């Protein structure tokens, strides 16, 4: 039996992970904004489900909840950094407050959790951290600029920290799901649209989500099973791409960036100090 710590467990991937882990006999420390959302699972699984209310934008609260989880449960084997949402709108449509909340939740919230768990994982001799990112950590869509900022940012943070803590047997996997049939869309925060963007790529994406032509083909259940299976792999895969569309789009983006880099090799080499 393993003990997992998961943020953002009221719905989506967080809820599915919690359900599957409890069903197979593991123990889960689940955090969410409103603890009542897990009352049904608490009644069914009792002490194998540890629940705490947590707003990941509050760094002090994150440290307190994580300290309490390690103290009361003794050990946390896998940390799942999942709490996130998307701010949906063209860059100039969002308010300052909306931008700050997006960064505080998705980027700084994930950083707070990682920083808080590292001392405990070092002390216990290691552990695994799953950072739930998105295909949007390597590709972009119009209207999701601030969401992409958080996902590209957290992937860079994890890449660096993974090198720092590798000697302590702490491993990271960045999970990059494509569009999946969760309630992610219901959680979108959308500022008032500006008509000037109606006939632009931003407007096209907006209409695609509204009329259902934006294809969502990922199976959340299968994606969660892949996340669980990744924890059994050693060494930990640094990235886990989930979904046919995510694979195709990330691969195309990487090839395009590599081609652009290769095309500028002579410029890059020309800026060295003369020997």
Task: Just list the catalytic residues.
Answer: 133, 147, 151
Give me the residue label for tokens 């500022």: 191
Nearest to 230 by CA among 219, 212, 248, 242: 242
Q: Where is 51: in which H helix or E strand? A: strand 49-53
Measured distance CA(76)–CA(127) in Å, rounded: 8
State residue 217 phi and psi, 5-degree precision: -120, -5
Structure tokens at 113: 């959790």
- Planar angle of CA 235, 236, 238, nearest 5 degrees: 125
Using DSSP, state whether 139 is helix, strand or coil: coil
Nearest to 88 by CA among 241, 200, 183, 203: 203
Contact yes or no for 48/30 (Cβ under 8 A): no
Structure tokens at 228: 């669980």
DSSP 56: T
Measured distance CA(8)–CA(135) in Å, rounded: 19
Q: Widest CA span of the chain, in angstroms?
A: 72
Nearest to 122 by CA among 74, 71, 173, 168: 168
């Amino acid at each position: 039996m393993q003990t997992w710590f998961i943020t953002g467990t009221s719905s989506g991937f967080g809820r599915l992970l919690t359900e599957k882990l409890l069903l197979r006999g593991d123990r889960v420390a689940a955090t969410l904004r409103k603890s009542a959302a897990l009352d049904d699972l608490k009644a069914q699984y009792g002490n194998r489900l540890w629940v705490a209310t947590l707003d990941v934008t509050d760094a002090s609260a994150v440290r307190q909840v994580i300290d309490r989880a390690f103290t009361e449960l003794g050990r946390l084997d896998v940390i799942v950094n999942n709490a996130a949402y998307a701010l949906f709108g063209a860059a100039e449509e969002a308010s300052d407050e909306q931008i700050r909340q997006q960064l505080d939740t998705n980027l700084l919230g994930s950083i707070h959790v990682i920083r808080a768990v590292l001392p405990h994982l070092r002390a216990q001799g290691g552990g695994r951290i799953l950072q739930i990112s998105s295909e949007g950590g390597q590709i972009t869509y119009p209207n999701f600029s601030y969401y992409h900022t958080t996902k590209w940012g957290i992937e860079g943070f994890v890449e660096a920290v993974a090198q720092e803590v590798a000697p302590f047997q702490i491993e990271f996997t960045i999970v990059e799901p494509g569009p999946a049939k969760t309630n992610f869309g219901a959680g979108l925060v959308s500022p008032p649209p500006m008509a000037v963007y109606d006939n632009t790529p931003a407007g096209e994406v907006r209409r695609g989500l509204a009329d259902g032509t934006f294809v969502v083909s990922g199976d959340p259940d299968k994606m969660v099973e892949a996340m669980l299976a990744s924890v059994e792999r050693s060494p930990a895969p640094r990235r886990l791409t989930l979904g046919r569309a995510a694979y195709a789009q990330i691969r195309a983006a990487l090839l395009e960036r590599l081609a652009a880099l290769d095309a500028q090799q002579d410029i890059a080499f020309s800026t060295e100090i003369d020997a």
